[in-house]
Amino acid sequence: MRNVGIRNIVCSLVCALFTAAIGSAQTVLYVPQFVDGVQAGGSGWVTAIAVTNPAFYGTSMATGTITVTDTSGTPMNIQTS
């Protein structure tokens, strides 16, 4: 397995924070690419989803739903951890 460079990690973090800022409003956010599995050469692919609540301490709890579907719109069979 190839080492992941610090630049890739920083870019991923920036993309995640940008997505969190956009998704902080009460809207639906679609992520067009989701991966889970092992490639023929043995490389593993996953998409990590981090959920945060940037509200001040003492405010009501945020709620939401994460739905992962395949290209036909049916629920995707993925491993969760």
Determine the pLDDT at residue 27.
66
Which pLDDT does position 1 carry in this prediction?
Answer: 45
- pLDDT (tens place) for every residue of the chain, 81 residues total: 455 667 777 777 777 777 766 655 566 777 777 777 788 888 887 778 787 777 788 888 777 788 888 888 888 877 665
Written as six digits, the tokens of 45 are: 């692919």
In 3D space, the residue among 48, 42, 43 whose CA is nearest the CA of residue 20 turns out to be 48
Q: How far apart are CA 52 and CA 46, in angstroms?
A: 20
Instruction: Give the Cα-Cα-Cα angle 7, 69, 4 (nearest 5 degrees).
Output: 15
